[in-house]
Amino acid sequence: MANLRRLFLALTLAAASVVAMGFVNFASAATAQDLDTDAQQALQTLYKTHPFAERLSHNAKAILVFPNVVKAGLIFGGSYGEGELISGSKVDGYYNSVMGSWGLQAGAQSYSYVVFLMTKKAVHYVHETHGWEIGVGPTVVVVDEGAAKNLSSSTLKDDAYAFIYGQQGLMAGISLEGTKISRIHPR
């Protein structure tokens, strides 16, 4: 019985690794031009579904846009996506978003997320670190429908505000805690 459990665990881990690596390889194929187009489309979608996000963009020092993040897991899991940092109207660098996890989980999903960097300190932190782990460094507030209704330009006090949207697939819950954002050089 113990050998059967070990075999099941090994097969589960192998399947999760294969699935996760397949998604990573698929997601990492973006060119700079693809990322530029996808990021602009993702922002337009966000602004249509969350009008407050567009108002927030006017006060942001920079915006991190991850148009397509894929998350998969079977006990062990991970997520991967590529995006860009936009300062004003220009692209200020390309980044990836990576997270690993373990625990009770099964399934796969894709989603988009955008982080509005509200302070120069937050932008500087993204530029200067060799991988920003969300939860360490600038304070990031994940904005949901209820929180958006209570925010105004006078109540914005945190370093960054994140919107997660466009979830598709069969996997419960999304968190940005522990996500590592690192600079990349796309094709």
Task: Give the count of domains, the chain.
Answer: 1
d(CA 155, CA 109): 33
Closest of 113, 132, 114, 111 to residue 123, by C-alpha: 132
Count of other CB atoms within 10 angstroms of residue 135 = 13
What is the pTM (predicted TM-score) of this model? 0.77
30 secondary structure, DSSP code: -
> 97, 71 in Cβ contact below 8 A?
no
Token pair in block for residue 140: 């990031």
Q: How many residues does the chain have?
A: 187
Please give the pLDDT value at position 40.
Answer: 96
**Residue 97 belongs to domain spanning:** 2-184
Q: What angle do CA 155, 64, 187 make, to 5 degrees?
A: 175
Q: Is 1 buried (19+), middle (13-18) or exposed (0-12) by CB count in 10 A?
A: exposed
> Which residue has tokens 């999760």?
16
Residue pLDDT, tens place only, 88-115: 989 999 999 998 888 777 788 899 999 9
Higher pLDDT, 152 or 177: 177
